[in-house]
Amino acid sequence: MTATTTTTVTTTSGGHCSKSYRRGGGCGGGVMLIASILVLSVHYGHAQDFGYDGEKGPSHWGEQYNSCTGKHQSPININSLDVKKVNLPPLVFQGFNVAPKETNLTNNGHTVVVTMDSEVTPTVSGGPLAGMYEYSQLHFHWGDNDTFGSEDMIDNHRFPMELHIVFFKQEYKNARTALNHPDGLTVLAFFYEIAPVDNPMYDEFIALLGNVTGSHLSARFETPPSLKDLLAEDLLHYYTYDGSLTTPPCSEVVTWIDFKEPILLSHAQVQAFRALEDEEGHPLTHNFRPVQPLGDRVVLYNTDELIKQVELDEEHPPEPEGVDTNKLDTHKSASEEAKSPKDPSNRKQPRNDAVSILPGTTRWTLLIVALTLISTIVQC
């Protein structure tokens, strides 16, 4: 996650200007002009002075930004067998299906950032969040081939690209002041997988990347997409943990929400991101931070499965639905009867069969006595 906000001024070849430019006094010609933009760090200081290689690479971030050596850093590798399954309250998404009035796409030298001017600012609440969080910006992380590029990993698997949608807690007014609070930001993270065909929802997005190849160039959407247009369908199943910004100053103020279902893009669509250039004019082929130690943190996995709060003992199985246990037949099963000592008083007695209830030895004695009596009678 990169910690930047942007202020943009854009004109297009058709002479169509943004509102902010028209207030400044006109478009200034019919040739496409994508003006330089002012890129502000969310954090006061020189948080833009970093890179992903050499002396500015992630292994050196801690030399200038102390937080980058903290114990609760992001990204991490999420072991799906070592998470705690939970049933969190539903996430509430507001304004996600509303198309903005204006959407700008900017290459800030580290990633491509999307900012929006909308009558309805998207917000998210619920789930692991305490309070309402307001949209700030979204950006991407990718690698130089389709085998890696995401920042967080799932079971040691990297995805080719990852989307971060950054929100700040509304009570803190803006993303900059939110950095001073441990619950200041939340990031909705989505992974990408490669599909055999293009994703049509990203067509204009991918086309605009060709207009912002150079660092600090910006382009504007003709048909701005809503946030919902860019996301996966399943917003119920996700991992969540407490972490940090994944770029300097690495502030540990982020509640991460990593959705399980990936978004599908074609190889050609992901390849378009790799054509961008960094601040030094070099190809921006990879812009992800290596995973950090999990430490003492617990990763939660939100599921729609019923999580049993009390583990049932084998001697007390769950009661059948719709059955009054006070009226259950308490007779033992045949297997239980065979294992338990015989109690003659519990056995059912056959009717009109007095002989059958006598022990075997007694029956033979009576038979001999009867035969003797019959023999005596015959002889008489």
**Using an 8 Å Cβ cutoff, are 215 and 107 in contact?**
yes
> Which residues is 157 bridged to in the sheet?
154
What is the torsional sign of CA 133, 178, 89, 263?
positive
Euclidean distance between the first and final Cα of the chain, in Å? 118
List of residues 6+ apart from 276 with CB closer than 8 A:
107, 112, 209, 212, 213, 283, 284
Note if 267 is an active site residue: no
Q: Nearest CA to 212 among 39, 334, 338, 19? A: 39
Beta bridge partners of 348: none
Taking a C-beta distance cutoff of 8 angstroms, is the pair 252, 72 a contact? Answer: yes
Cβ(278)–Cβ(258) under 8 Å? no
3-state secondary structure 340-373: CCCCHHHCCCCCCCCHHHCCHHHHHHHHHHHHHH
Give the C-alpha separation, 159 to 22, whole Å.
42
Reported in sequence order, the residue ranges of 160-319 that DSSP labels E, i.e. its strands, are 161-169, 185-195, 217-220, 238-243, 254-259, 263-266, 300-302
| Strands 185-195, 254-259: pairing kind | parallel
Q: What are phi and psi of 230, to 5 degrees?
A: -95, -5
* Helix or strand (DSSP H, E) at 260: none
Distance CA(239)–CA(233), nearest Å, equals 16
CA dist., res. 301 & res. 231, Å (int): 19
Q: How far apart are CA 301 and CA 83, in angstroms?
A: 6
Catalytic residue among 110, 139, 141, 164: 110
Structure tokens at 65: 């930004």
Alpha-carbon gap, residue 9 to 231, rounded angstroms: 27
Show which residues are catalytic. Answer: 110
